[in-house]
Amino acid sequence: MNKELFNKKVEEINLMLEESFPLYSRFDKKIIESMKYSVMAGGKRIRPLIMQETYRMFKGEGSNEDTLKTFMTAMEYIHSYSLVHDDLPCMDDAERRRGKLTTHIKFGEEFGVLAGDALLNTAYELISNKMARMRDIDELRAAAKAFNVLAYNAGVHGMVGGQSLDVQSEKDDLEVGRNELDYIYDGKTAALIDASFVIGGILAGVKDNDIKILEAIGKGVGIAFQIQDDILDATGDEKTLGKDVGNDEKLDKKTYLSFVGLEQAKKDVVSYTEGALSAFDSLECEKNEFLRDLIVYLIDREK
Ligand code: GRG
């Protein structure tokens, strides 16, 4: 992975996000500040990066990226909202994220809830606002399809669904077997990663067959990413990760490692990633080497 190029692209995404928030008017300063704090507290930005690089792989660089940028922003807002809500006292009760205080610790619990609500709604507002101004029917159709993919993957059959079963496993004594674990990982982690590949493809106007391949890549990368997250929770370093580690063991939580052990989990991260890479190689387009490297980086990451 070309780290310099990665950092440059992340910096560009940070600038785009910085400029995306509503302006303060009379009484909305605190809610907008809490949204901004949650999104701008750092983060690897891998979802918007995946979306952008997938789009560019099919469309080339230098085409109009206006709509793409709106979806990248919305995706990062939704990802941030999920982290803010996941950190709340009723969920993971976390005090630190990305090396900083979590939103509810900084602004109060009510604003943890409200910042998440505001981010989710603003994400959809930004997209629908853009769509309302589209004149070209093909562009509008693609945006509607991408909007649906985003909402579906963030919702009951995606991230919220996975998180719901995860919460039940902790609070309702639901027994977690492999089927339950797969459902949790597919939803809570893979859904948004998958949607990032697919939306990049839809906005670039790719054929249905390639969309199916992008879905397969996203699923593989998403699962590998979550297993790597489990590995980092068991073996990673708090300082590097910017959050507490060893949580899964403390909470006696079933993870991928509970089923296969650490060594097999490491091998499985590699094989899921290899599966994703071979799907990537089968796409009918000139390959984006940066995107290929990004997929590999996600399993080599230390945070
Ligand atoms: C509250 C609806 C709702 C959902 C929460 C995202 C999530 C679902 C829970 C967070 C806990 C967790 C381990 C989720 C798995 C996905 C994951 C590893 C998220 C962290 O993503 P990164 O590493 O975060 O991309 P950064 O900080 O880099 O943005």
- Could you identify the atom of ligand 1 that is nearest to the CA of residue 80? 29
How does pLDDT run across 25-37, given as a tens digit for each residue? Answer: 889 999 999 999 9
- Could you identify the atom of ligand 1 that is nearest to the CA of residue 97? 27
**Considering only CA atoms, which of 221, 188, 182, 183 is closest in space to residue 54?**
221
The CA distance from 218 to 222, in Å, is 6
Identify the pLDDT of residue 291.
Answer: 96
The CA distance from 135 to 209, in Å, is 27
Taking residue 71's Cβ as centre, other Cβ atoms within 10 Å add up to 29
Q: Which residues contact 103 (CB under 8 A, 6 or more apart)?
A: 34, 37, 38, 41, 84, 87, 111, 112, 115, 116
- Could you identify the atom of ligand 1 that is nearest to the CA of residue 229? 18
CA max distance for the chain: 56
Identify the pLDDT of residue 298.
Answer: 86
- Ligand 1 centre to CA of 189 (Å) is 7
Provide the 3-class DSSP secondary structure of residue 44: coil
How does pLDDT run across 218-273, given as a tens digit for each residue? Answer: 999 999 999 999 999 888 776 666 666 767 776 778 899 999 999 999 999 999 99
Alpha helices in 186-255, H assignment, sequence order: 191-203, 208-235, 238-241, 247-250
Per the CB < 8 A criterion, the answer to whether 161 and 187 are in contact is yes
- Ligand 1 centre to CA of 83 (Å) is 5
Q: Where are the beta strands (DSSP E) in 13-98?
A: 96-97
- Ligand 1 centre to CA of 138 (Å) is 33
Identify the pLDDT of residue 119.
Answer: 98
pTM, rounded to two decimals:
0.94
- Could you identify the atom of ligand 1 that is nearest to the CA of residue 226? 18
Q: What residues of the chain score a pLDDT lower than 70? A: 238-244, 246, 250, 302-303
Identify the pLDDT of residue 239.
Answer: 67
Question: What residues flank ligand 1, with Cβ below 6 Å?
Answer: 43-44, 46, 82-83, 85-86, 98, 159-160, 163, 188-189, 226, 229
- Could you identify the atom of ligand 1 that is nearest to the CA of residue 92? 11
- Ligand 1 centre to CA of 79 (Å) is 7
Identify the pLDDT of residue 247.
Answer: 72
- Ligand 1 centre to CA of 285 (Å) is 31
- Ligand 1 centre to CA of 163 (Å) is 10
Name the residue with the closest Cα to ligand 1, atom 17. 189
Tell which one of 88, 150, 188, 297 to mutate to probe ligand 1, the residue whose CB is within 8 A of the most ligand atoms: 188
Identify the pLDDT of residue 1.
Answer: 82
Identify the pLDDT of residue 26.
Answer: 86
